[in-house]
Amino acid sequence: MFGDGRAGPVRVMGVDPGLTRCGVGAVEGRPGAPLSLVAVGVVRTGADEELGARLVGIEAGIERWLDEIRPDAVAVERVFSQHNVRTVMGTAQAAGIAILCAARRGLPVALHTPSEVKAAITGSGTADKKQVGTMVTRLLRLAEMPKPADAADALALAICHVWRGGAQHRLSQALSRATRRNPTR
């Protein structure tokens, strides 16, 4: 915290889970201030690999990112029901690996829905991938849109968490102060 009560910059690593391409991106900043890109990329596994090997590959990739980035928190896309059960299962498995890796290090993990992220980044919960990528590019003052879309989505998750996490933290602090002033008996 700064002396005036504002929260200091936070480094958040976003994970857009997937078995073939798991988007990973990190930003640093605080609500109401410009954000900075830390890193962006993807962890890839081969579609022809056995499931266990793919999950081990995702774990190793996320662990490398955590070692290099050293985030304060991790934001993972909350898996929602899709029509293709096979796709949703792979996404959920990759999300579980990301959550496990962060939890193993004692890092706070937040799950954000795709519509929550879209609304935070673009103002519309129904924005398409191009709109999200365009706003991520603008918000981070990048020369070009991060590719593939999984990488841009991971940055969007991280940005959403910095912005929403700050508001959630302030709300939590206010509730804590109110509870101390008016304890229930």
128 is catalytic: no
Cα distances from 8 to residues 29, 58, 162, 185, in angstroms, run: 8, 31, 11, 35
Q: Which of 4, 16, 63, 68 is catalytic?
A: 16
150 is catalytic: yes
48 is catalytic: no
CA dist., res. 137 & res. 152, Å (int)? 8
Q: Which of 77, 116, 128, 153 is catalytic?
A: 77
CA dist., res. 161 & res. 138, Å (int)? 17
Written as one letter, the residue type at 118 is: K
CA dist., res. 95 & res. 22, Å (int)? 9
Question: Do 17 and 54 contact (CB within 8 A), yes or no?
Answer: no
Q: Which of 63, 144, 150, 153 is catalytic?
A: 150
Write out the catalytic residue numbers. Answer: 16, 77, 150
